[in-house]
Structure 1
Amino acid sequence: MNKQGRTSQTEAGMEHRDLFPIREVSRLTGVNAVTLRAWERRYGLVQPTRTESGHRLYSQADIDDIRRILGWLERGVAVSKVGSILARDQAVMQNALAPDAAKGWQAQLRDAVQRFDGAGLDRLFDQVFAAITQDQVFADVFMPVWHDLAAGQAVFGQASEWLFLDQFLRGRVFTRLQLSQQRRGRHVLLAPLPGQCLELELLVNGLLLASDEVRVTPLMPGQPLEELALISERLGPDAVVLFSNRSLTLDMGKRLSRLAVGLHCPLLLAGEAAELAQESLAGSLVACLGAEAGLMRRRLRQYLAGQLDT
């Protein structure tokens, strides 16, 4: 063997020395290999690295996650729900925003909205984006205030405040989403389930789903579900994602099944609807991405890479 070949083997060994094959992980955790593969492909719970020949290699962090999964299962949590719990725990640890900081941003936001101060909103939006992650911007600052104003529209003045904030956010989020369209990579269409989503919710989730590898094109509320097959045929996306934060009715579940058969690409479900329907849709043609931003992006990438089953 020449020197270059020996060096490549040595580097590969060093790269994988802290990783464990599936049989060793099974021995360490007590979870058999079949179950580990199912957790990965069906629920996206663990993401081992792969060798060039396709063999799975698990890190110590993966093993820790497997033990956490076992802990939740022992508490009676369904395996379909564990992914969202782990994702939210991870988001809290990695992107924890101090409650006082979040309240401070929200107080400034409410003040600008009450004064109908568009220039102030512009400055605040840019400041918040520069200070914290995109996920935090919406989860911890802007969307909580938006939801509060939407729920309190019976109070005099709050309907106007909500409309003011809603219009501002739709404009800024749409602009950012348009910029992300310039990225190359896999193309995803994002559509709302009929009557179950407002435009801002759809735009925000489109922005959260987008990444360097995935560009997202939103289809606005009012888009007929039955015409998605036509749009998909003409635009040729890599996947169609439906978004809703409401539970699926029996009739809607049947409509999704019919739609999946007629599409020329995979059909995925995102939002709280995906969390609630994951067990009922298991084994169907509809894959569930979850509701937490990080989990949705990860499962979408896995699915587009062929590493996540419906």
Structure 2
Amino acid sequence: MSKITDRFTHFSQEPLYNTKAVVQRTGVAADTLRAWERRYGVPFPERTEGRQRAYSDRDIAIIDWLRQQTESGLTISQAVALLQTDSIIEQPTYDLAPLAELSNDCVQALLSFDVLKAEDILNQAFSIYPVETVCIEVIERVMVAIGDGWHAGKISISQEHAATAFMSLKLSNLIHQARTRSNRGVIVVATVPGEQHELGVMMVALFLMRRGWRVVYLGSNLPASELLHTVQRLNPKLVALSATTKDNYSQAVHLLQELHNVPKPPIIGYGGAALSGTTQQTVLPGIFLGYNAGQACDKIEELLA
């Protein structure tokens, strides 16, 4: 197993960025950066002739990693110790019962078209739990409950569309905040042609960005020819595709085969309800990534290790 510090060795150490640029890219406040530097010696930027701090791509990657660890529940001192010693610190466990209550409350707020209340509920969850936990234990559960209600005829199309639009906007904002100029590698993420459901694949893109990958997210219902052109142009390390409805299964099979046949094909991963059956996993070209965004990201990092 590679050491934690190994993930930063390929980043440039050339001091290129001032503090403002680092704040914009990592979301870590300038005062926090200086406090970490004083107390823990991390990061340790070089100084210009005018005594201004100058950070490298490696500094930015380390800062972003520390931010992710503190958001997952570690103290900054634990995160720095983990970075410096490569020891394993037991990750905190969370009581998920309050999340189930928040999920139920969010469903009721969205069914009442009360987006302000739904926003307050999600903000409350994000203030307590890591982003990934909220996405899987609240957002995903909310949308499954609303989808099941719609299929059962208990929820109107308007309610389902309003809830989907709300969650899509929330995830889009999180993706925007998570973007980084990491050199860790390019991953292309998209749905198959014809697929309109993208919340799950948006979570995959978000989680990968928060782990330091450069993700090119192409959204839903992209024509196969466009996706193939983009893959050949970018030469990504991996392409991750999603299909949730059975109607799109044949499109998924065709696209996976086309990707498999391109010159120097990338690693191909797939997920979504339409592709998650045991039979599909044995016959489809590519690798099944898991049943939720967290599993998908773990599998992707395992494939790219």
Per-residue deviation at 1:171? 0.8
C-alpha root-mean-square deviation of aligned residues, in Å? 3.0
Asked whether the equivalents of residues 181 and 217 of structure 1 are also in contact (C-alpha less than 8 Å), the reply is: no
Deviation at 1:263, TM superposition (A): 5.5
- Write the distance in 2 (CA, Å) between the matches of 1:222 and 1:196: 5
Give 1:300 shift: 1.3
Q: Which runs of 5+ in 1 are unaligned?
A: 1-47, 51-92, 306-310
1:188·1:238 contact (CA, 8 Å) conserved in 2?
yes
Q: Secondary structure of 1:191's match?
A: strand
Residue identity opposite 1:234 in structure 2: R
Assess, with a 3 A threshold, how the Cα gap between structure 1 residues 238 and 165 changes in structure 2: closer, same or farther.
Answer: same
Alignment deviations for residues 26-73 of structure 1 (CA, whole Å, 9 cap, x no partner): xxxxxxxxxxxxxxxxxxxxxx458xxxxxxxxxxxxxxxxxxxxxxx
Displacement after TM superposition at 1:109 (Å): 0.7
Residues 1:252 and 1:115: Cα distance change in structure 2 (over 3 Å): closer
**Structure 1 residues 229 and 146: CA distance shift in structure 2, 3 A:** same
Deviation at 1:271, TM superposition (A): 2.0
Q: Give the corresponding residue for 1:146.
A: 143
When structure 1 is superposed on structure 2, of 122-131 and 166-175 the one drifting more is 122-131
Q: Could you say if the C-alpha distance between residues 280 and 170 of structure 1 is closer, same or farther in structure 2, counting changes exceeding 3 Å?
A: same
Paired position in structure 1 for 2:217: 218
Deviation at 1:138, TM superposition (A): 2.4
Q: Which has the larger displacement, 260-269 or 242-251?
A: 242-251
Q: Secondary structure at the match of 1:190?
A: strand
Quickly say closer, same or farther: Cα 1:295–1:146, change in 2 above 3 A: closer
Q: Percent identity?
A: 20
Corresponding residue of 1:161: 159
Q: Which residue of 2 aligns with 1:293?
A: 293
User: Which aligned pairs between 1:174-189 and structure 2 lie closer than 5 A?
Assistant: 174-184=172-182, 185-189=184-188
Q: With structure 1 as the length reference, what TM-score do the two structures score? A: 0.58
Structure exhibiting the larger radius of gyration computed from Cα positions: 1
Secondary structure in structure 1 of the residue aligned to 2:210: coil
- The answer (yes or no) to whether the contact 2:193–2:224 under 8 Å persists in 1 is yes
Q: Distance in 2 between matches of 1:94 and 1:280?
A: 38
Q: 1:97 to 1:293 in 2, by over 3 A?
A: farther
Count, aligned residues: 212
Change (3 A) 1:135 1:157: same
Secondary structure of the equivalent of 2:113?
Answer: coil
Correspondence for 1:110 among 99, 107, 110: 107
TM-score by length of 2: 0.59
Q: Tell me what 1:279 maps to.
A: 282
Deviation at 1:303, TM superposition (A): 2.2
Say whether the 8 Å CA contact 1:95–1:136 is kept in structure 2: no
**Residue matched to 1:201:** 200
Q: Distance in 1 between matches of 2:277 and 2:290?
A: 5
1:169 Cα deviation after fit: 1.0
Distance 1:182 1:246, change over 3 A: same
Report deviation, 1:251: 7.4
Q: 1:59 maps to what in 2?
A: none
